[in-house]
Structure 1
């Protein structure tokens, strides 16, 4: 089964995550807004409608935590190729596809 996550669903999950962490820290919306520098109206809109700027979202994460997980998720995986020459060598090393004979 393939799971498809829409951008709006991902936004909702992020908002729910920040809200849950805020509540776990026993912070009010006003408290988190004050500590993060994000306007209270922006935080309320985020928790209700999942809409926020990237800058404001990152400010919230700095307070409630979770920045490390996002940064780690963005780290590149070990690439099998380091240079274009590595790619070309790999292409040359592939065997030609064998085809059946007709008739």
Structure 2
């Protein structure tokens, strides 16, 4: 497991800035992105200002900004390590890793 020194607020701010930058590179106004995505203009403005947004709205924006596929990587794990294993065994292994034990 990788260790990160970024806080959730740091990541939220970086994501907000990247979405805004991507919108501008694609030459979309806030109104244009809101219309294309189905996200209200107020929601988009709040997101670009504060980083706060509902997850489904974030995914709608990502679809229009052509970065929806990036979300498939979030919390992804090697499928081979999960196939055929009971959920309790997978969760126990994860708990053991967090405590520094090898299971």
TM-score > 0.5, shorter chain as reference: yes
Q: For residue 83 of structure 1, report the CA deviation from its aligned partner.
A: 3.4
Paired residues in the alignment total 84
- 1:42-100 deviation line (CA, Å, top 9, x unaligned): 0000000111000110110000021112203443224288536xx8xxxxxxxxxxxxx
Superposition CA RMSD, Å: 2.0
Q: What TM-score does the superposition give when structure 1 sets the normalisation length? A: 0.71
Spell out the pairing of 1:1-103 with structure 2 (5 A cutoff).
3-77=4-78, 78-79=80-81, 82-83=84-85
Classify the secondary structure of the residue corresponding to 1:76: coil
Q: For residues 13 and 4 of structure 1, what CA distance do their matches in structure 2 show?
A: 14
Q: Which runs of 5+ in 1 are unaligned?
A: 88-103
Classify the secondary structure of the residue corresponding to 2:45: helix
Q: What TM-score does the superposition give when structure 2 sets the normalisation length? A: 0.71
- Bigger Cα Rg: 1
Structure 1 stretches of 4+ moved >6 Å: none
